[in-house]
Amino acid sequence: MTDEKKSETEVCQEDLQEPTEEVVDELALKDEEIAKLKEDLEKKEAETQEYISLSQRLQADFENFKKITDKQNKEIIKFANENIIKEFLDCYEDFGRALEVENDDNLREGIELTYNKFKDILAKEGVEEISAKGEKFDLNKHEALMVQKSDDVENGYVIEELMKGYMYKDKVLKYSKVIVCKK
């Protein structure tokens, strides 16, 4: 080889070595970057698995809570009237004792006593009678079974109460059955 060719070859090799070293350095940087990204990805995947696991546990806890609450609600509904039934049992027994009495005066007295007990229990529980006779007819409290003409009562007012109505707290439990005046 001639010196000229030799120096040309050396120059080409030197030119090729510089970019090769740059490429090798760049590849090394990219490898480090890829390794870091893989590590970050693994961390994120582990974190995602933790969240999935947490979500599954929370879902299971919620389902268990729902089952327990449903069971408790069924028990509450099943025994909701227990206390009032206990109180009515006393009245029931009083009626039984009143029926055993042979003297009519004692029977009436026993029935009045029992009636008053019932009335007290209902009042204590929030049940009130709806006043009707002499009141203005109210569709929200009264049910008109008949209409009659009457000179003693104004038009649209209740002449007579056929059956009592009752309110339970703010709700109509049973409408009063009434006769309404219509002129």
Cα–Cα nearest to 176, from 126, 136, 116: 136
pLDDT (tens digit per residue) in 118-151: 888 888 888 888 999 999 999 999 999 999 998 8
Residue 99 reports pLDDT greater than 90: no
Q: What is the pLDDT of residue 13?
A: 58
Distance CA 9, CA 74 (A): 95
Q: What is the pLDDT of residue 138?
A: 93
Per-residue pLDDT, averaged over 47-64, amounts to: 96
Q: What is the pLDDT of residue 10?
A: 59
Tokens encoding 8: 């040309």
17-26, 43-52, 76-85, 171-180: least confident range: 17-26
pLDDT-based confidence at residue 8 (cuts at 50, 70, 90): low
Give the pTM: 0.54
pLDDT-based confidence at residue 72 (cuts at 50, 70, 90): very high
Q: What does the DSSP assignment read for 116-150?
A: HHHHHHHHHTTEEEEP-TTSBP-TTTEEEEEEE--
Q: What is the pLDDT of residue 179?
A: 94
Cα–Cα nearest to 96, from 79, 117, 114: 114
pLDDT (tens digit per residue) in 146-168: 999 988 889 999 999 999 889 88
Residue 107 reports pLDDT greater than 80: no
Tokens encoding 174: 């049973």
**128-183 has which fold?**
Nucleotide Exchange Factor Grpe; Chain A, domain 2 (2.30.22)
Task: Show me where the domains of the chain are located.
Answer: 1-80, 81-125, 128-183
